[in-house]
Amino acid sequence: MTGRLDGRVAIVTGAGQGVGEGIARRLAGAGASVVIAARRAETGEPVAEAIRADGGDAVCIVTDVTERAPIEACVAATVERFGGLDVMVHNAFAGGTASRLEETPPEVWFQMSRTSAWGSFWCAQAAYPHLKASDQGRIVLITSPSGVEGSANIPLYSPAKAAQRALAKSLAREWGPDGITANCIAPVAETPALASAFSQVATLRGAIEARTPLGRIGDPVADIGGVVAFLAGPDAGYVSGQTIVCDGGSFLGL
């Protein structure tokens, strides 16, 4: 992928760790200038520094995706610094703990929907005029296999992530005439959150690997970032409105 995204400018929300960090690193490795839109500079700046140390172009902009104004400010600062915006990747998410639906407080839904559904909406609105001005505008929303097949453990997580899939389909229809593609990816990858779950449930890693035909858990840079880099690049200009499940073959229902 080296050089495939030369001259392109991308924002990746929630890029201070995990999947978002992996996406940012892969996009930068392919030649894009990348904005690490992280809620905290303590996590975002080290990622930007690491990308720069590898010869890439990256900057951290502190961004709270639960509010419209910080997202608009991030987009404005990106355009001012780099001269435009070609790729918007909304990955940031704040989730809740496992519980049955009847035991789940409303605050869990407010938190999940604020970062996923509302965050996607605000990212799309703020990015649209710049993606339209780009010759290859792209928006990628990071959803989840649970947004397709549901979840018995975190029931509100599924509709929060499914909302992103519906939005991407609508954006693909509305923005297609402007040359903008809109897609989702649904990843399963090694992240700090998953590592924490592994530490609490000793059998969890083995169970995930056993149900995965490829027999392993995805790498945020190579496996997940690679798919986003494809969607952000010239070879995916005719792919829009789709959800690509990056989970090693665990979910085969699409």
State the catalytic residues: 157
b/e sequence 134-168, b meaning 16+ C-beta within 10 Å: bebbbbbbbbbbbbbeebeebbbbbbbbbbbbebb
Q: For tokens 């996590």, what's the residue?
A: 43
Taking the alpha carbons of 230, 232, 233, 234 in that order, is the dihedral positive or negative? positive
Q: Torsion-angle region of residue 184: left (phi > 0), alpha (psi -120 to 50) or beta?
A: beta
Angle at alpha carbon of residue 148, lines to 167 and 225, rounded to 5°: 75
Helical ranges in 61-118 per DSSP H = 68-82, 106-113
d(C-alpha 106, C-alpha 110), whole Å: 6
Closest C-alpha among 50, 61, 11 to residue 33:
11
Closest C-alpha among 135, 150, 132, 237 to residue 186:
150
Strands 33-38 and 9-13: parallel
Identify the three-state secondary structure at position 7: coil
